[in-house]
Chain A
Amino acid sequence: MKYVFLKLSLSALIILQCACASVTTVETTDKDALISREGKNDEAKGSLGFRDGRPFYAKTNLIVEKDGCQTQRYTVYKTDEFHPEAFFITLFTTPYVGLLGVLPLLWITTYEKKYVLNYTCLKRGEK
């Protein structure tokens, strides 16, 4: 039971740091198109930034809409990029908190910092 508070604090810090690090921006090639995240309330025209604290296996579905054009869907994956912060945190905290220290490996991959959604307006009914 020694250092329980310290270990819990460090573990909380590890999870917080890893979860908070996943920030990404998506842009469309058409700046007038509206981007939104499926199942979320956020939307923006041309460019959308969002934060995702879920572990490495998460993915985000994106919807791009424009008046008079077909709605198009895109998917970005959290396995797209290596996440060095999670690697370093694991390396340096495992000796202090034991197995808890490997928790950041759940965030070992992340989104890329920026995505460009290739959007071309297809008129409704057009294939």
Chain B
Amino acid sequence: MTFHRALILLAGMTLPFLTACTTLYSTAPVAIVEPPQNASSTQAPKDNTRVNYGLLPAQNFRIADDVADRPLVVRQNPEMVTGRTWDFGIRKPFSDHLELGISGFPILSTNLSGQLIGMAKYQLLGNTYEKIQQHPFDLAIYSHVIFTEVNLSGNQRRLFGEGGYPWNAESHFQGVSAGISIGKTISRNFYIYSGVAHQQFQIDASVNQSASHDGDYPSASYQIPRSSGTSDNILFGFSFGVRHQINVTYNFSKSKWRDLTADGSGLNVNLLFYEFGKAPQTVEPNK
């Protein structure tokens, strides 16, 4: 594999990287499924903040092909595809049952763009730190709020066109999701789980084109009205490790927006690091 193919492979994991810089889009994770055990109930350090980094199944909405184009042509048939987006954040247990988290990632190649995800998870059934192995399985409910903003700007008349035609464009995604998951501890460092989640979201966008420097085009402002959609996700996976965990999952998602439907499925990898504490394993003598 060549260096460039490797780069493209990595970049392809996040859809915005492959989008032209004058394409107006919005991107966000589909309904997120959480492992049911929260940080305080695993055998890792109690009350410990953990850092997570990985890939989330995502949906990408293509709203306009070329926002520099004058006059602007908004897509009559917008596109929606599924893919992956990066996720980086922290999560902290607040009791044996409640875990809160915040995560996000800047969207590269645009200015001041990114996504922000807030998470709350409540573990209804399952092991707590004090009462390990007291339940045959773990059960948790969780909710996420997701905000994504994409900002674009330039001074061309069209993609790769001449300068002197300043413009800016932005899109907003707001979503809220809820779900439930179930899991089982197989051994101290191996855990399997599965869950479902449902998401409701809204998308809106705007494009502002200033008057051209030589006066051949007047200023114009375009509003893409708010539209709603839903996504559903089902996920199966396992996690391995105690202080450092790797989550490997496979998901099936269905997103609906306007009259479009997009199905997605694929492998996701997520890493969790307990970096702020030490929980030495106690070893019993051999029999």
Interface of A with B (CB < 8 Å)? 26-27, 64, 72-76, 79-84, 87, 94-96, 98, 109, 112-119
B137: CB under 8 A from chain A?
A: no
Residue B62 at the chain A interface, CB threshold 8 Å = no
Q: How far is the CA of A117 from the CA of B286 in the complex (A)?
A: 11
Known: A80-B189, A82-B189, A84-B273. A116 touches B241 (CB 8 A): no
Q: List 17 A-B contacts (CB under 8 A).
A: A27-B280, A73-B285, A74-B285, A80-B281, A81-B243, A87-B271, A94-B1, A95-B6, A96-B3, A96-B6, A112-B243, A113-B243, A114-B281, A115-B281, A115-B283, A116-B280, A118-B284
**Contact at B278–A114, with CB atoms within 8 Å?**
yes
The answer for the CA separation of A87 and B273 in the assembled complex, in Å, is 13
Is A112 touching B242 in the complex (CB atoms < 8 A)?
Answer: yes
Cross-chain contact A82 with B1 (CB below 8 angstroms) = no
Complex Cα gap A98–B5 (Å) = 12
Contacts A27-B280, A87-B246 given: A95-B286 contact, CB under 8 Å?
A: no
CA distance A24 to B131 in the complex (A): 28
Task: Give, as a whole number of angstroms, the nearest-CB distance from B38 to chain A.
Answer: 19
A83 to chain B, nearest CB (A): 7
Could you tell me if B281 and A112 are in contact, using CB atoms closer than 8 angstroms? yes
Note all chain B residues with C-beta closer than 8 A to A75.
283, 286
Q: Which of A74, A83, A94, A112 has the most CB of B within 10 A?
A: A112
Given A83-B244, A84-B246, the answer on whether A118 and B273 have CB atoms closer than 8 Å is no
Q: Are A72 and B285 in contact (CB-based, < 8 A)?
A: yes
Verify B283–A117 contact, CB threshold 8 A. yes
Which 7 A/B pairs are nearest by Cβ-Cβ distance? A82-B241, A95-B6, A114-B280, A72-B285, A82-B244, A73-B286, A116-B280
In residues 239-257 of chain B, which contact A (Cβ within 8 Å)?
A: 240-246
Chain B residue with the shortest CB-CB distance to A83: B244
Instruction: Determine the chain A residues whose CB is within 8 A of the CB of B271 once the complex forms.
Output: 84, 87
- Chain B residues 249-286 with CB under 8 Å of chain A are 271, 273, 278, 280-286
Residues of B near A26 (CB, < 8 A) are: 283
Q: Complex Cα distance A64/B286, Å? A: 11
**A95–B271 alpha-carbon span in the complex (Å):** 21
Q: How far is the CB of A88 from chain B (nearest CB, A)?
A: 9
Q: How far is the CB of B54 from the nearest CB of chain A, in Å?
A: 11
Residues on A with C-beta less than 8 A from B1 are: 94-95, 98
Q: Of the candidates B5, B280, B281, which one forms a contact with A95 in the assembled complex, judged by CB atoms under 8 Å apart?
A: B5
Which of chain B's residues have a CB closer than 8 A to the CB of A87?
A: 246, 271
C-alpha gap A84/B278 in the complex (Å): 17
The residues of A that contact B280 with a CB separation of less than 8 Å are 27, 112-116
Min C-beta distance of B44 to chain A, whole Å: 10
Q: A114: which B residues are within 8 A, CB to CB?
A: 278, 280-281
Q: Which of B9, B189, B271 has the most CB of A within 10 A?
A: B189
Q: Which residues of A contact B243 (CB under 8 A)?
A: 81, 112-113
Report chain A residues within 8 Å CB of B286.
Answer: 72-75
A sample of 9 more A-B contacts (CB under 8 A), given A74-B285, A80-B189, is A74-B283, A82-B245, A84-B246, A95-B2, A114-B281, A116-B283, A118-B283, A118-B284, A118-B285
Asked if A118 meets B282 with Cβ closer than 8 Å, knowing A82-B189, A84-B271, A94-B1, the reply is: yes
User: Most A CB atoms within 10 A — which of B3, B6, B278, B280?
Assistant: B280
Q: Which residues of A contact B241 (CB under 8 A)?
A: 81-82, 109
Q: B87-133: which residues lie under 8 A (CB-CB) from chain A? A: none
In the bound complex, what is the Cα–Cα distance between A5 and B188 (angstroms)?
A: 42
Q: In the complex, are the beta carbons of B240 and A119 less than 8 A apart?
A: no
